[in-house]
């Protein structure tokens, strides 16, 4: 209990640089998590990885469910010990928390960070008319005339299952990049590794995902 309290305090104070690297092996997770039934027939992914805020690293595990043709996503993220971190159902216009975790209750500033990460990785966002797309074979960037780069998607030519998504939030308009031919070009229908960075909050999310159930109509443009 004392150790957990220090971990939570460190989330804001940065008193701990990193959690111990040796973590328990993530158990095989089912489609039912924290008493919520996820619609496995619509595309469900088991995820694990880490969330980094300033110098604090939080190992996570969870379930992500892509629903309604990719316009809605349900997500449950837990610590490696099974404590709830973030559970919600989101669209681009709204979100509903299934439960408010003890961490978010104590540090409400985390809620918008987790919402932004989930939307950036799993939902298509609105295209801004003032932004232009630039890129090459393995990188696509969106630039806006009066703002910083909002999004930068990079695909490693040597690792086509890896997508790096860097996001800088410094604009009112939301933007999107889609890899519409991902399944055809890379011979896979979803990325296995996702990287998210939000410099405004000094936040990084790194997730590895594998399908629990994966229908053919879900493509990377819906899952990245």
Residues in the chain: 224
The domain ranges of the chain are 29-223
pLDDT, residue 89, reads 93
pTM over 0.85: no
Rounded CA-CA distance 48/62 in Å is: 6
The predicted pLDDT at position 61 comes to 92
DSSP string, 11-26: HHH---S---S--PPP
Per the rule left: phi > 0, alpha: psi between -120 and 50, beta: everything else, 123 is beta
Count the neighbouring beta carbons within 10 Å of the beta carbon of residue 28: 7
Could you give the CA distance from residue 61 to residue 77 in angstroms, rounded to a whole number?
6
Q: What is the token pair recorded at 195? A: 């990287």
pLDDT along the chain (224 residues), means of 10: 44 41 34 34 78 88 82 88 89 87 86 86 56 50 47 55 49 36 48 73 82 47 31
What is the DSSP track for 86-145?
A: EEEEE-SS-EEEEE--HHHHH-TTHHHHHHHHHHHHHS--PPPTTEEEEE-SSEEEEEET
Query: 136, 129 in Cβ contact below 8 A?
Result: no
pLDDT attached to residue 65: 85
Distance CA 219, CA 224 (A): 9
At residue 153, the pLDDT reads 52
Q: Under 8 Å CB-to-CB from 97, ≥6 apart: which residues?
A: 87, 88, 111
Going by C-alpha positions, the residue among 9, 222, 12 that lies closest to residue 119 is 222
| 3-class state of residue 5 by DSSP | helix
In our burial notation (b when 16+ CB lie closer than 10 A, e otherwise), range 78-89 reads bbbeeebbbbbb
């Amino acid at each position: 209990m004392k150790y957990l309290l220090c971990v939570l305090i460190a989330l804001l104070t940065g008193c701990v640089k990193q959690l111990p690297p040796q973590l328990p092996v993530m158990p095989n997770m089912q489609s039912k998590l924290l008493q919520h039934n996820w619609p496995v027939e619509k595309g469900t992914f088991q995820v694990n990885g880490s969330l980094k805020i300033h110098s604090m690293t939080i190992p996570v595990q969870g379930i992500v469910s892509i629903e309604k043709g990719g316009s809605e996503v349900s997500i449950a993220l837990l610590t490696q010990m099974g404590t709830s971190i973030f559970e919600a159902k989101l669209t681009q216009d709204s979100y509903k928390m299934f439960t408010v975790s003890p961490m978010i209750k104590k540090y409400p500033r985390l809620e918008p960070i987790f919402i932004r990460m989930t939307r950036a990785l799993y939902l298509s966002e609105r295209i801004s008319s003032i932004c232009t797309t630039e890129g090459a074979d393995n990188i696509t960037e969106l630039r806006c005339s009066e703002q910083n780069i909002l999004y930068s998607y990079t695909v490693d030519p040597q690792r086509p299952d890896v997508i790096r998504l860097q996001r800088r939030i410094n604009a009112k308009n939301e933007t999107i990049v889609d890899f519409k031919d991902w399944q055809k070009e890379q011979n896979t229908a979803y990325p296995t590794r996702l990287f998210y960075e939000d410099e405004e909050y000094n936040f990084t999310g790194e997730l590895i995902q594998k399908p629990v159930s994966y229908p053919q109509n879900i493509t990377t443009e819906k899952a990245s």
